[in-house]
Amino acid sequence: MPARMPRLPALRPLIAAAALVLGLGALATSRIATAADTQDYPAASLSAPSDPTALIARGKYLVTAADCMPCHTGPGHAPFSGGLIMQTPFGGLSSPNITPDKATGIGNWTDAQFYNALHYGTSPGRDFLVFPKFLYPAMPYTSYTKLSYPDVMAIKAYLDSLAPVQAPRLPSSLSFPFNQRPVLLGWRILFFRSGPMQMNPAWDEHMKNGAYLTEALGHCGECHTPRNIMEAMIQSKAYAGAPIDNLFAPNISSDKAFGVGGWSQADLVAYLHDDGNIVKGSPYGAMGDMTDHSTSLIPVSDDQDIATYLQTATKPQIILPAPAIPDASASIARGQTLYAANCAGCHGNTGGGMGPNFVPNLAGNDSVTAQLPYNPIGAMLGGLDSWADNGPKMPAFGAQFTDQQIADVTNYIRTAWGNKSNADATPAEVMKLRGVGGLPPAASLAADKLGCPRVSSSGGADTVADPGNGLLNIYAGATAATVPNRTRELISAVKASNSSISNADLTNTLVAAYCPMLAQTPGMSLAAKRNALQGFIAAAQPLIAAP
């Protein structure tokens, strides 16, 4: 006979124990704001505009500064309607719809529920009757907790003003036990504290604003701070730099040799607001997304405040690069030959680039000389979009160059022209990054604007795994009549090589193949292309489900 479920009295000790653990966890991870906290916010964040139009405008500014849209807009999805699959060390996590749709978005959320999401990292509802629905820290509530209550309400007012979009959340593929939200309680007790940052009372409003934008809204530490084995930020190394996909978010602390403390403020502001310059290079990868959708769209005075805070108020972090490899001289010599034949035509014989607004410099570029050699490796593996809209695109050398050749070029440019780094790249490191890299869109800037997925050899953060054999080119030259059959062929080929692939991952693979071709279609507006991509996704579902 099947085992009988225990009666409620038998469950009471378990419920009581769970409630006790929950209460202790709440005490460990939260605190009540006090009147003294006003010194820990800029004045503009302490009161919400009374005029509804002004409140929405404030919310739009905050959402832009927080860079919310890119993470909450997946391929083919309307802005803020979710659908992006973020690859974490624990599996794939889909971003939710945050439009005011009542069925699939946040249209039924109360002010308190929305505040709890940003401030405490919980969403409405309960898990197993007693546990709050903890948010995964891929949502940077660990930084957003520093936002003031009036600003959180302004953000909600702006999101509530958007057109509701019906977009059910895509399934996630987190592995057990990480797909059980209650396990996050232990992580929260160890690593999460709610409440504002502790600002220096002597700071003026510009410094407070810079700190608020950097620590809370911009959540810069989420990418630029190293993480421990449990993916929590190591606060003692704040802004020291950290790997991200097959790139490296550099040291942006105030250290004058290894961070941005030695930059001129004009160069740092240009990097944040104007897509960089020929002195310090240009943002790309995840930082390119940040500048495109956030820091270039806020007032330049805000970027000046961010620069002041990073350059003068953050703890200097001195993180030395790894020692040079044993055969450094030979590797550098081989790299110099390869550079002259393949790279100097655009980047110049002296690494000066082609400026302004065409090809960034490599000489004096802190991204090139960062602690780990990931950035030049990642750029060569997958290429980069053009610096300017009509400029040349950085080609991918991943298929053309061997692991040794990419390591050699990397070692050359990290040590040439006065660049003060070490020749520390190895073929083994290149091979490792081939498998985890977040490579840029396969097509062009048009594909990026449409939100086409990025592709890597075996999947990485925010990327789709390349099925190989040129399958992602299957839609080249396709017509409306031939698309369904090509979709069936692609589904069959992917399933043959990966019989356990989830429907969500298979859908992402189809989109990765179809989206760049659609992006290049002439005579279609961006809105029409998005609608066509949604139609393609819908039409593909019965083909995916077919035996």
249-308 pLDDT, tens digit per residue, is: 999 999 999 999 999 999 999 999 998 999 999 998 889 889 999 999 999 999 999 999
Give the pLDDT score at 8: 37
- What's the CA gap between 308 and 265, in Å, rounded? 7
Angle 265-240-301 (CA atoms, 0-180°, nearest 5)? 25
Residue 439 pLDDT: 35
* CATH class belonging to 328-436: mainly alpha
> 381-410: buried (b, 16+ CB within 10 Å) or exposed (e) per residue?
bbbbbebeeebeebebbbeebebbbbbbbb
Residue 462 zone, left/alpha/beta (φ > 0; ψ -120 to 50; rest) = left
Q: What is the mean pLDDT of residues 60-65?
A: 97
Model confidence pLDDT, tens digit, residues 323-359: 999 999 999 999 999 999 999 999 999 999 988 778 9
Unique residue bearing structure tokens 């959540």: 219
Q: What is the percent of the chain where pLDDT is above 70? A: 88
CB atoms within 10 A of CB 146: 25
Residue-level pLDDT at 518: 86
Does the structure show a pLDDT above 60 at 225?
Answer: yes
Residues 177 and 439: their CA atoms lie apart, in Å, by 29
Q: Which of 51-60, 111-120, 431-440 has the lowest mean pLDDT?
A: 431-440
Element holding 141 (H helix, E strand): helix 141-144
Q: What is the pLDDT of residue 436?
A: 59
What is the average pLDDT across 204-232?
Answer: 94
The answer to whether residue 216 scores a pLDDT higher than 70 is: yes
What does the pLDDT look like over 399-418, one tens digit per residue?
788 889 999 999 999 999 99
Could you tell me the residue ranges of all domains in the chain?
41-191, 205-221+240-312, 328-436, 467-545
pLDDT at 357: 72
Alpha carbons 19 and 22: distance in angstroms, whole number: 5
Q: Hey, what are 134's tokens?
A: 């903890």
Q: Cα separation of 67 and 74, whole Å?
A: 14
Mean pLDDT of 62-87: 88
Percent of the residues in the chain that have a pLDDT greater than 90, as a whole number: 52
pLDDT by residue (tens digit) across 132-156?
Answer: 899 999 999 999 999 999 999 999 9
Per-residue pLDDT, averaged over 238-246, amounts to 89
Angle value at C-alpha 425, between 424 and 430, nearest 5 degrees = 160
| Mean pLDDT over each residue of the chain, to the nearest integer | 85
Backbone φ/ψ region at 245: left (φ over 0), alpha (ψ -120 to 50), beta: left
374-396 mean pLDDT? 83
Q: H or E stretch including 270?
A: helix 265-273
Q: Is the pLDDT of residue 26 over 70?
A: no
Please give the C-alpha separations between residue 291 and each of 123, 200, 297, 303, 485, in angstroms, as whole numbers.
29, 28, 8, 11, 40
DSSP strands (E only) in 111-235: 122-127, 131-134, 173-174
Alpha helices in 498-547 (DSSP H): 503-519, 526-545
Note the pLDDT of residue 469: 67
More confident residue, 314 or 469: 314
pLDDT confidence bin for 51, thresholds 50/70/90: very high
Decide if 165 contacts 100 (C-beta within 8 A).
Answer: no
The pair of three-digit structure tokens given for residue 260, joined into one six-digit string: 């941005």
Judge contact between 459 and 87, C-beta under 8 A: yes
The backbone torsions φ and ψ at residue 123, rounded to the nearest 5 degrees and listed phi first, read -110, 165
